Amino acid sequence: MSEQNEHPEHSQGGTYSVKGKEFTRDTRYITTRITADGRDGFAVEPGRYRLVAARACPWANRAIIVRRLLGLEDALSLGLPGPTHDARSWTFDLDPGGRDPVLGIERLQEAYFARDPEYPRGITVPALVDTTTGAVVTNDFAQITLDLSTEWREHHREGAPDLLPAEHREELDAVVRRVFTEVNNGVYRCGFAGGQEAYDDAYGRLWTALDWLEERLADRRYLVGDTITEADVRLFTTLVRFDPVYHGHFKCNRNKLAEMPNLWGYARDLFQTPGFGDTVDFDQIKKHYYVVHQDINPSGIVPRGPELSGWVTPHGREALGGRPFGDGTPPGPVREGERVDPDHTPLRA
The string of pLDDT tens digits covering residues 153-183 is 999 999 999 999 999 999 999 999 999 999 9
Confidence category of residue 292, pLDDT binned at 50, 70, 90:
very high
Residue 125 Cα distances to 38, 276, 331, angstroms: 23, 18, 24
Q: What is the pLDDT of residues 44-73, one digit of tens each?
A: 999 999 999 999 999 999 999 999 999 999
Question: What phi, psi does 348 have (nearest 5°)?
Answer: -90, 160
Report the alpha-carbon distance of residue 185 to residue 232 in Å, rounded.
15
Name the maximum alpha-carbon separation found in the chain. Answer: 55
pTM (whole model) above 0.85: yes
Average pLDDT for 175-203: 97
Catalytic residues: 57, 188
121 touches 15 (CB < 8 A): yes
- pLDDT in the model for residue 6: 28
Q: Is the peptide bond before 324 cis (omega within 30 degrees of 0)?
A: no
CB atoms near residue 315 (< 10 Å): 18
Each residue's pLDDT tens digit, 6-24? 233 444 444 455 555 788 8
Q: Could you give the angle at the alpha carbon of 315 between the alpha carbons of 211 and 191, nearest 5°?
A: 40
Percent share of the chain, pLDDT over 90: 88
Consecutive H or E run containing 224: none
Domains of the chain: 1-160 (3.40.30.10), 166-320 (1.20.1050.10)
DSSP, residue by residue, 54-108: -TT-HHHHHHHHHHHHHT-TTTSEEE---S-B-SS-BB-TTSGGGS-TTT--SBT
CA 143 to chain CA centroid, Å, is: 13
% of the chain beyond a pLDDT of 70:
92
Decide: helix, strand or coil at residue 127. Answer: strand
pLDDT for 20 equals: 57
CA 156 to chain centroid: 21
Contact of 335 with 293, CB cutoff 8 Å? no
Distance CA 275, CA 280 (A): 9
pLDDT band at 26 (very low <50, low <70, confident <90, very high): confident
* pLDDT for the residue 343: 65
pLDDT in tens, 88-112: 899 999 999 999 999 999 999 999 9
Residues contacting 95, CB < 8 A, separation 6+: 80, 101
Phi and psi for 215 in degrees, rounded to 5?
-70, -40
71 by Cβ neighbours in 10 Å (0-12 / 13-18 / 19+) ranks as buried
Residue 117, preceding peptide bond in cis (omega within 30° of 0): no
Residue 340 CA: distances (Å) to CA of 6, 97, 228: 35, 21, 22
d(CA 277, CA 96): 26
| The pLDDT value given to residue 170 | 98
Amino acid at 133: T
| DSSP-assigned states of every residue in 247-265 | TTTT---SS-GGGSHHHHH
